[in-house]
Structure 1
Amino acid sequence: MADTRPKAPPTHFTEREAAELIREASAHALTSQASERPLTREEVLAMAREMGLSEASVEVALAARGQKDQDRQKLRKDLLGLATHGFSYTIVIGALTLIDVLTGPSWWVVWPAIGWGIGLAFHAMGVTMTMARRALKVEDDE
């Protein structure tokens, strides 16, 4: 039969568990206040001091957050570029195929389709590799 007694809370935590616990408690405390205005930088620094954190550690966290935002923005730009490239490929090769079919069955359209397709494949591979590197970096940071 399964033990249904409530378990005692743990008495020891790893650094990662402690950081997660403090992060969750902070988030809960901030959301329970239901303040509509955003916190200022000074207020965040004051909160950090109350928790015993240095101003330098907050600045490091802010810099890391800024870098993550820049990385996300670059990824969005790369994905939009790839989507635009794929859309252009589809429209132009479709039009060339239509011209080829209407002017005679020589099938010359295969050559631009293959050439441009190789370029599109390399573009997709580059974006995919960037996404994979970013995922590994995020995984390493956690």
Structure 2
Amino acid sequence: MAKPDKQGGRRYTEAEVRAILERALRDAQARDVGHDELVAAAEEIGISRGAIEAASREIEHVRGEAEARAAILGRRRKGFRSHLFSFLVVNAFLFAINALTPGPWWFFWPLLGWGLGLAFHARAGLSSDVSPRQLRREIERSAALAQREEQRRLKERRRVEQLERKQRLERSAEDLGHAVEEGVATVLSRIAQEIRGSAPPAPPPAPEGAPRGRRIAPLGADEAGADDAESEALGEEEAERAARRGRAGR
């Protein structure tokens, strides 16, 4: 029989629960945790799904504000650095011109005027104060950029899918063309074989001594009868002529 756990009946305060969870997460292997895993782990210790959903929304809001604040401050500092670089380069160039040309010193007048504007810019660019209106506008701007990026990725995915579909259709059409060509060739070959099979046999070759004149096809029964009648008529006419010549000779 298993012994009861000595820690099973112990109770923890809210501060102790937070400290234990933070230490456990810090000592555990670092990895990304999915939303479903987080909800399942919270339900194991008696935290409802609704509380987790509300807390996650708050975390997302805080994360969005932190990212917006960092973006605003980054743009401010980048603009100030660009302004400072231009200020140094231009005023150094003006100083060189003033030093190399005779006359009074005048370069400090643009230096003072521009330096005053640079000071105001430094005050705004190096400040960490961000108003709620600026945060809201930056969050909306980031959301619009993310939406446009998602639309761009969606269009690119659709374009790739259309290209792949077009290539598949072209390959299918090419395969169909090859199949049709092979089928037509097969049909023509079969027709040629049937024609060769139904053709009359070739006539036997003529003997070597026979004259190689024009071949006369055999006559039919009607044509043979007509030739016989014509021969008899010619014979009778020839006999009458011979009889006339005999009588005339007498």
TM > 0.5: yes
Q: CA deviation at 1:33?
A: 2.4
Q: CA deviation at 1:49?
A: 4.6
Runs of 4+ in structure 1 over 4 Å off: 48-51
Q: Which amino acid aligns with 1:82?
A: F
Aligned to 2:57: 59
For 2:34 and 2:103, locate their aligned partners in 1 and report how far apart those are by CA, in whole Å: 69
1:33–1:112 CA distance, 2 compared to 1 (3 A) = same
Q: Give 3-state SS (helix, strand or coil) of 1:108's partner.
A: coil
Aligned to 2:70: 72
Q: Greater relative contact order (Cα 8 A, min sep 6): structure 1 or 2?
A: 1
Provide the identity percentage. 32
Equivalent in 16, 21, 35 of residue 41 of structure 1: 35
TM-score normalised by L of structure 2: 0.40
Q: Which amino acid aligns with 2:86?
A: S
For 1:50 and 1:88, locate their aligned partners in 2 and report how far apart those are by CA, in whole Å: 60
**Residues 74-89 of structure 1 mapped to structure 2, 5 A cutoff:** 74-89=72-87
- Kept in 2: contact 1:82–1:124 (CA 8 A): yes
For 2:119 and 2:72, locate their aligned partners in 1 and report how far apart those are by CA, in whole Å: 20
Q: CA deviation at 1:82?
A: 1.0
Q: CA deviation at 1:50?
A: 4.5
**Residues 1-142 of structure 1 mapped to structure 2, 5 A cutoff:** 18=15, 22=18, 24-35=19-30, 37-50=31-44, 52=47, 54=51, 55-129=53-127, 131=128, 133=129
Q: CA deviation at 1:127?
A: 2.3
Q: Give 3-state SS (helix, strand or coil) of 2:105's partner.
A: coil
Q: CA deviation at 1:105?
A: 3.6
**Deviation string, structure 1 residues 32-55 (Cα, Å, up to 9, x no partner):** 2214x4122333344445552611
For 1:109 and 1:73, locate their aligned partners in 2 and report how far apart those are by CA, in whole Å: 37
Structure 1: gaps (5+ residues): 1-12, 135-142
For 2:40 and 2:65, locate their aligned partners in 1 and report how far apart those are by CA, in whole Å: 23
For 1:91 and 1:43, locate their aligned partners in 2 and report how far apart those are by CA, in whole Å: 56
- Kept in 2: contact 1:93–1:109 (CA 8 A): yes
1:98–1:50 CA distance, 2 compared to 1 (3 A) = farther
